[in-house]
Amino acid sequence: MNYNLKHLQELEAEAIYVLREVYAQFQNPVILFSGGKDSIVVTHLARKAFHPAKIPFPLMHIDTGHNFPETIDFRDNLIDSIGAKLLVGSVQESINNGRVQEEKGINASRNALQTTTLLDAIEGYNIDAAIGGARRDEEKARAKERFFSHRDDFGQWDPKNQRPELWNIFNGRHSMGEHFRVFPISNWTEMDVWQYILAENIAIPSLYIAHQRDVIWRNNTWIPVSEHIELREGEKVENKQIRFRTLGDITITGGIESDADTLEKIVEEVAAARQTERGNRADDKRSETSMEDRKRQGYF
Amino acid sequence: MSSNSYLDMELLRFTTAGSVDDGKSTLIGRLLFDSKSIFEDQLEAVAKTSDRKGLDHVELALLTDGLRDEREQGITIDVAYRYFATPKRKFIIADTPGHIQYTRNMVTGASTANLALILVDVRNGVIEQTCRHSFIASLLQIPHIVVCINKMDLVDYSEEAYNKVVDEFKEFSAKLDVKDVRFVPISALHGDNVVNESEHTPWYKGGTLLNTLETIHIGSDHNHIDCRFPVQTVIRPHSDEYHDYRGYAGRIAGGIYKKGDEVTVLPSGFQTKIKSIDTLDGEIEEAFAPMSVTMTLEDDIDVSRGDMIVRTNNQPEVAQDVEFMMCWLNNNPPRDRAKYIVRHTSNEARAMIKEVNYKMDINTLHRIEDDKTLKMNDIARVKIRTTNPLFFDSYRRNRMTGSLILIDEATNETVAAGMIID
């Protein structure tokens, strides 16, 4: 008998440990659920962590209103099948209430508006721990993120003044009004996530699998045609076989041309990829530190 | 996860420490670049920045830039985690700054590492900061150390210069508690012996740095002898199917547990047997560190978070007086007779620092006995008294059951890290 864990088993054990710490240390945690593969994996890990009991926290979706219909169907089916409670924070409502203003201009998106909706929902539901699927390999500011990441009572992240995090001892103590963001799959890479989805046979939205779709070429990526997008001069609708490497707001999430129509082929494609997965996200292209800036304000 | 997974890779976590000019960022950039772990868009961004800085080459060190302040000041502020994989292993790098004021970050990065990468400039040999990094690696009981003797290009790849540094390091490290030390002559800038073998060092017969990282034996880094299962939480489904189910969830901190094992629950001392070890994928026959599992017990006894399930014939120390090496992590020094919260495994108690035995001068390894005031980044041997007993092993024996942190009750900040001494 070999008493060594393989890398995915070790990452899985670490994530389960973190999820159980959240349950033990907080009163009112939620899983931030976007319908993307990372939050799906976190939800799967939460099932493992508390089996045979149900996941002891609700799932919370920050809804930009600009969704892929497939994402919403997938979300609702998953909620049903695991018997979890769903909370929704709506960006449209934040706009209607005057909490935020819709961006104007050619590259307008609702991405940044989500921060206000998210922080309002955290405060409104009295949430003290918001569990997310962010990974440290995604982006340079995220590389410095803790598993248990403290947010002050304005929801802000202070990267220069983070609590030291040693061994696997996590300190989730906080004052009233403060909360934590917790990232159980901090140490996973995009490849690990896909390998795990394959090994565990986890259901994912069909958007990740290569399919035919009407798209336009914008900002060096294939943007899906939807009711939320207006054609600009010179843009034309084409039908391509594409898939998405990340899922977000439908107006800014670009697809790649791909013939990876099975999980096995996706793993191969990810292994051969020469671009980062967030390379197709307009929200990260605004400046060199756009993720850091958004994170400081309270973004995911 | 199915055990016949085709993914047959181990995970190696290593830490790197260095200061501004020793080439640490260049080395990490080189390792990522030559192992083809850099994506085109990342490289393009770095090429653009290099160009803007007026450089005639792509500065690989820029690949590890993080926060805005770091980019502007050219320094590393906090631990950054980086990832790469080869067909043999997955790697997690805890990239830590090396300045003395960042000892706490080095300690943080070292706490989860299997291996420490220590960089030495061949022209300078073993200097104060080499001592500091090595001491921290030994204090945190990192099982393996790889000393990269860098900038070999600047001494014409001289074997003599290399050997001199190797001898210096060996002489100094004899005073430390380190088991496995290896040396590699490299030039991070030119890539010699990092991923690819160098043509310039025919006298060097060891492997490249990457080869060492890929092949070093890490199978025995976990304690598989002393069974320690700290209970994180109790799982009670209250469903029809699992009406009376009481599962004890946790991550195994040491040893191998099997169904039917005779165990004792601490602190109550109740003895019972393991009824089952459960996972979502079904019951398993045995479980070992560092697996996360759920156990059920034969007898219905009271077990809660902070308790520890151990093998009856091999028990940890149970005490309220605990002595450890402490690294102070906070700007505010410890207050006289102040109380702190101690977190140890899943257990929590209140504690008071009773005594500071001595402070360490981490550059010379001398003990300082006349000045016992503690500031941020100081390392000292201390004794605490806790309100209820901890169940622990020495840190040398088990890094999970031998480590603890102190939390300030007033600010909730993590103010100290401790490595328990037997």
**Residue among B2, B107, B290 whose CB faces A166 most closely:** B107
Residues from chain B that touch A11, judged by Cβ atoms under 8 A, are 11
Torsion of CA A167, A168, A173, A178, to 10 degrees: 100
Q: Which residue of A has its CA nearest to B66?
A: A140
Residues from chain B that touch A3, judged by Cβ atoms under 8 A, are 219, 222, 224, 256, 288
Mean pLDDT of B184-196: 93
Mean pLDDT of B70-95: 79
Claim to verify: residue A186 and residue A209 sit in the same structural domain? no
pLDDT number for residue A57: 94
CA–CA dist A206, A37 (Å, integer):
11
Mean pLDDT of B32-43: 75
Per-residue pLDDT band for B6 (boundaries 50, 70, 90) equals very low
The average confidence (pLDDT) of chain B is 89
- Residue B90 Cα, gap to closest chain A Cα (Å): 7
Number of inter-chain CB pairs under 8 A, A vs B: 191
- 3-state SS, chain A, equals CCCCCCHHHHHHHHHHHHHHHHHHHCCCEEEECCCCHHHHHHHHHHHHHHCCCCCCCCEEEEECCCCCHHHHHHHHHHHHHHCCCEEEEEHHHHHHCCCCCCCCCCCCCCCCCHHHHHHHHHHHCCCCEEECCCCCCCCCCHHHCCCEEEECCCCCCCHHHCCCCCCCCCCCCCCCCCEEEECCCCCCCHHHHHHHHHHHCCCCCHHHCCEEEEEEEECCEEEECCCCCCCCCCCCCEEEEEEECCCCCCCCECEEECCCCCHHHHHHHHHHCCCCHHHHEHHHCCCCCHHHHHHHHCCC
Q: Which residue of A has its CA nearest to B281?
A: A48
* Structural domain containing residue A255: 204-284
Claim to verify: residue A176 and residue A243 sit in the same structural domain? no
The verdict on a CB contact (< 8 Å) between A7 and B10 is yes
CA–CA dist B237, B242 (Å, integer):
6
Residues from chain B that touch A183, judged by Cβ atoms under 8 A, are none
Kindly report, residue by residue over B134-158, the tens digit of the pLDDT: 999 999 999 999 999 999 999 999 9
pLDDT number for residue B34: 79
- Residue A98 Cα, gap to closest chain B Cα (Å): 32
Q: Which residue of B has its CA nearest to A150?
A: B413
Kindly report, residue by residue over A8-27, the tens digit of the pLDDT: 999 999 999 999 999 999 99
Mean pLDDT of B267-293: 95
pLDDT number for residue A234: 85
Per-residue pLDDT band for B4 (boundaries 50, 70, 90) equals very low
Residue A245 domain flag: yes
Torsion of CA B87, A275, A183, A191, to 10 degrees: -30
CA–CA dist A126, A62 (Å, integer):
15
Bridge pairing between strands A179-182 and A148-151: antiparallel
pLDDT number for residue B127: 87
Q: What percent of chain B has pLDDT over 70?
A: 92
Residue A1 domain flag: no
Which contiguous run of DSSP H or E holds residue B250? Answer: strand B247-251
CATH class for the domain made up of B10-215: alpha beta
B338 has pLDDT over 50: yes
Claim to verify: residue A159 and residue A220 sit in the same structural domain? no
The verdict on a CB contact (< 8 Å) between A24 and B407 is no
Residue A197 domain flag: no
Q: How many CB atoms lie within 10 A of CB A20?
A: 26
On whether any CB of chain B is under 8 Å from the CB of A6, the answer is yes
Domain with CATH 3.40.50.300 in chain B: 10-215
Claim to verify: residue A248 and residue A108 sit in the same structural domain? no
The verdict on a CB contact (< 8 Å) between A289 and B68 is yes
CA–CA dist A212, A232 (Å, integer):
22
Per-residue pLDDT band for B232 (boundaries 50, 70, 90) equals very high
Identify which of A297, A251, A53 has the alpha carbon closest to the alpha carbon of residue A158. A297
Claim to verify: residue A137 and residue A110 sit in the same structural domain? yes
- Residue A135 Cα, gap to closest chain B Cα (Å): 10
**Residue among A6, A51, A191 whose CB faces B8 most closely:** A6
Claim to verify: residue A161 and residue A118 sit in the same structural domain? yes
Domain with CATH 2.40.30.10 in chain B: 228-311, 317-420
On whether any CB of chain B is under 8 Å from the CB of A4, the answer is yes
Ramachandran angles phi, psi of B19, nearest 5°: -110, -165
B23 has pLDDT over 60: yes
Q: Which residue of A has its CA nearest to B346?
A: A169
Kindly report, residue by residue over B235-264, the tens digit of the pLDDT: 999 888 888 899 999 999 999 999 999 999
Claim to verify: residue A87 and residue A232 sit in the same structural domain? no
Claim to verify: residue A149 and residue A29 sit in the same structural domain? yes
Bridge pairing between strands B366-368 and B403-408: unpaired
Q: Which amino acid is at B48?
A: K
The verdict on a CB contact (< 8 Å) between A12 and B292 is yes
Chain A, window 179-218: residues with a beta carbon less than 8 angstroms from a chain B beta carbon: 186-187, 189, 191-192, 195-196, 199-200
Residues from chain A that touch B112, judged by Cβ atoms under 8 A, are 166-168
Q: Which amino acid is at B261?
A: D
Give, in degrees to the nearest 5, the angle at Cα A33 between A131 and B1. Answer: 75
CATH of the domain at A31: 3.40.50.620
Kindly report, residue by residue over A151-165, the tens digit of the pLDDT: 888 888 887 778 899
Bridge pairing between strands A129-131 and A86-90: unpaired
Candidates 2.40.110.10, 2.100.10.30, 1.10.540.10, 2.40.30.10; CATH matching B317-420: 2.40.30.10
Q: A97 versus B369: which is more confidently predicted?
A: B369
Residue A199 domain flag: no
Which contiguous run of DSSP H or E holds residue B42? Answer: helix B40-52
pLDDT number for residue A143: 85
Claim to verify: residue A171 and residue A240 sit in the same structural domain? no
Q: How many domains is chain A partitioned into structurally?
A: 2
The verdict on a CB contact (< 8 Å) between A10 and B69 is no
CA–CA dist B74, B80 (Å, integer):
14
Per-residue pLDDT band for B2 (boundaries 50, 70, 90) equals very low
Identify which of B13, B11, B21 has the alpha carbon closest to the alpha carbon of residue B119. B21
Residues from chain A that touch B247, judged by Cβ atoms under 8 A, are 52
Q: What percent of chain B has pLDDT over 90?
A: 63
Q: Which residue of B has its CA nearest to A136?
A: B81
Q: What is the DSSP string of B47-114?
A: HHHHHHTT-SS--GGGGG--SHHHHHHT---S-EEEEEE-SSEEEEEEEEE-SGGGHHHHHHHHTT-S
Per-residue pLDDT band for A293 (boundaries 50, 70, 90) equals confident
Token couple for B26: 């260049």
Mean pLDDT of A261-273: 84
- Residue B41 Cα, gap to closest chain A Cα (Å): 6
CA–CA dist A256, A240 (Å, integer):
9
CB-based burial, B157-166: b 16+ in 10 Å, e otherwise: bbeebbebbb
A100 has pLDDT over 50: yes
CA–CA dist A58, B387 (Å, integer):
36
Residues from chain B that touch A52, judged by Cβ atoms under 8 A, are 235, 237, 239, 241-242, 245, 247, 278
pLDDT number for residue B1: 37
Q: Which residues pair with B93 in a beta bridge?
A: B14, B82
Claim to verify: residue A172 and residue A218 sit in the same structural domain? no
**pTM for the whole thing?**
0.91
**Residue among B42, B279, B407 whose CB faces A48 most closely:** B279
Ramachandran angles phi, psi of A157, nearest 5°: -105, 130
Residues from chain B that touch A288, judged by Cβ atoms under 8 A, are 45, 71
Question: In terms of CATH architecture, what is B228-311?
Answer: Beta Barrel (2.40)
Residues from chain A that touch B239, judged by Cβ atoms under 8 A, are 52-53
> Model ipTM?
0.92
Specify burial of residue B211 (Cβ count, 10 A radius: 0-12, 13-18, 19+): middle
SS3 B163: helix
Claim to verify: residue A30 and residue A148 sit in the same structural domain? yes
Handedness of CA B73, B76, B77, B80 (dihedral sign): positive
**CA distance readout (Å), A121 to A62, A101, A130:** 9, 17, 11
Chain A, window 41-100: residues with a beta carbon less than 8 angstroms from a chain B beta carbon: 47-54
CB-based burial, A136-168: b 16+ in 10 Å, e otherwise: bbbbbbbbbbbbbbbbeeebebebeebbbbbbb
- Asked whether A22 and A161 are in contact (CB, 8 A), the reply is no
A278 has pLDDT over 90: no
**Residue among A3, A159, A196 whose CB faces B67 most closely:** A159
Claim to verify: residue A177 and residue A74 sit in the same structural domain? yes
Residues from chain B that touch A275, judged by Cβ atoms under 8 A, are 39-41
**CA distance readout (Å), B61 to A186, B55, B82:** 23, 12, 13
Mean pLDDT of B18-35: 78
Residues from chain B that touch A271, judged by Cβ atoms under 8 A, are none
- Asked whether B29 and B37 are in contact (CB, 8 A), the reply is no
The verdict on a CB contact (< 8 Å) between A3 and B224 is yes
Residue A164 domain flag: yes
Residue A198 domain flag: no
Residue A233 domain flag: yes
Identify which of B129, B92, B141, B2 has the alpha carbon closest to the alpha carbon of residue B421. B141
Kindly report, residue by residue over A162-213, the tens digit of the pLDDT: 889 999 999 999 998 899 999 999 999 988 999 999 999 999 998 899 999 8
